[in-house]
C-alpha cells in the first residue's frame, strides 16, 4: 500500500467541520516545507478521516487546518489510489464545461449539480515534496476543483444561484439543529 496509508485503522481521524463555519470561508496558507511535521502528521490523518467518512476528497480547512493540503482517492475499481496534493494550482482549464452532482463532507446529505471546466491541469507538490503536474477530466477534474476551492474558502454551493444556495444552507441548518447537540 501507499506510504500515506499504513495501518489505516490505527490512525486517528479528525472531526470534519460543518458549514457554516468561519474556517470553511477562510483562505488557507501555503505549506512552507513538505517535510514539516505538520504535513507529515496531517496527511495520514486526513486520509483516515476521508476513508472513514467516506468521501473521495478532503481539504485541510475541512479538518480545521488552514493549510493548502488536499487528500484525494477516487478508489478506481474499489482499490485505494491515494493522491496527496500540497500547494496545488490550476495552471490550465478547458473552455468546455461539465455538470455533475457534487456533495461535500462539510455539507452532509446535501447534493446539487455544479458546472465547472471539464478538464484542468494542476501543478502541485506530492507527499515527498516533488513537483508534479496532472491533467484530469471527469470526476477527478471536478474533485480537484472542489478541493482547491476549499483552500480558497469556497464551497460547492457558492457555484449555485443564491436561491439554491439558501435552500441548501437552511435545510442543512435545520437538520443539524435536529441532531443531538443542537437546539
Q: Which of 85, 144, 147, 159 binds ligand GNR (CB under 6 A)?
A: 147
Binding mask 70-109 for Ni ion (x = CB under 5 A): ----------------------------------x-----
Q: Which of 19, 39, 48, 104 binds ligand GNR (CB under 6 A)?
A: 104
Interface with ligand GNR in residues 62-101 (CB under 6 A): 62
State yes or no: residue 46 binds Ni ion (CB under 5 A). Answer: no
For residue 67, the cross-strand partners are 29
Q: Which of 44, 57, 60, 88 binds ligand GNR (CB under 6 A)?
A: 57
Strands (E), the chain: 57-59, 69-72, 83-93, 97-103, 111-117, 120-125, 131-136
For residue 100, the cross-strand partners are 114
At residue 71, φ and ψ (nearest 5 deg) are -110, 130
Catalytic member of 101, 133, 147, 175: 147
Q: Which is nearer to ligand GNR, 150 or 159 (CB)?
A: 150
Q: Which of 28, 39, 58, 144 binds ligand GNR (CB under 6 A)?
A: 58
101 is catalytic: no
Q: Which of 19, 46, 143, 151 binds ligand GNR (CB under 6 A)?
A: 143
With contacts defined by CB under 6 A, name the span among 4-12, 86-94, 119-127, 141-149 that binds ligand GNR. 141-149
What is the distance between the alpha carbons of residues 43 and 135, in angstroms, rounded to a whole number? Answer: 22
> Please, are residues 157 and 169 in contact by the beta-carbon 8 Å criterion?
yes
> Please, are residues 85 and 124 in contact by the beta-carbon 8 Å criterion?
yes
Question: For residue 175, what is its C-alpha cell?
Answer: 437538520
Q: Exposed (0-12), middle (13-18) or buried (19+): which is 8, by Cβ within 10 Å? A: middle
Q: Which is nearer to ligand GNR, 34 or 73 (CB)?
A: 73
* Residues contacting 161, CB < 8 A, separation 6+: none
Binding site for Ni ion (CB under 5 A): 104
Amino acid at each position: 500500500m501507499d506510504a500515506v496509508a499504513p495501518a489505516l485503522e490505527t490512525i486517528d481521524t479528525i472531526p470534519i467541520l460543518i458549514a457554516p463555519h468561519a474556517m470553511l470561508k477562510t483562505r488557507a496558507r501555503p505549506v512552507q516545507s513538505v517535510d514539516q511535521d505538520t504535513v507529515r502528521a496531517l496527511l495520514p490523518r486526513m486520509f483516515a478521516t476521508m476513508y472513514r467518512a467516506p468521501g473521495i476528497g478532503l481539504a485541510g480547512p475541512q479538518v480545521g487546518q488552514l493549510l493548502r493540503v488536499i487528500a484525494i482517492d477516487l478508489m478506481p475499481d474499489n482499490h485505494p489510489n491515494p493522491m496527496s496534493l500540497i500547494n496545488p494550482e490550476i495552471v490550465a482549464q478547458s473552455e468546455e464545461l461539465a455538470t455533475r452532482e457534487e456533495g461535500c463532507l462539510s455539507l452532509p446529505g446535501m447534493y446539487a449539480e455544479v458546472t465547472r471546466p471539464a478538464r484542468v491541469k494542476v501543478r502541485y507538490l506530492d507527499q515527498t515534496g516533488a513537483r508534479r503536474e496532472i491533467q484530469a477530466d471527469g470526476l477527478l477534474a471536478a474533485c480537484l476543483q472542489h478541493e482547491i476551492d476549499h483552500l480558497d474558502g469556497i464551497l460547492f454551493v457558492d457555484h449555485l444561484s443564491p436561491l439554491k444556495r439558501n435552500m441548501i444552507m437552511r435545510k442543512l441548518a435545520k437538520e443539524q439543529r435536529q441532531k443531538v447537540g443542537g437546539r
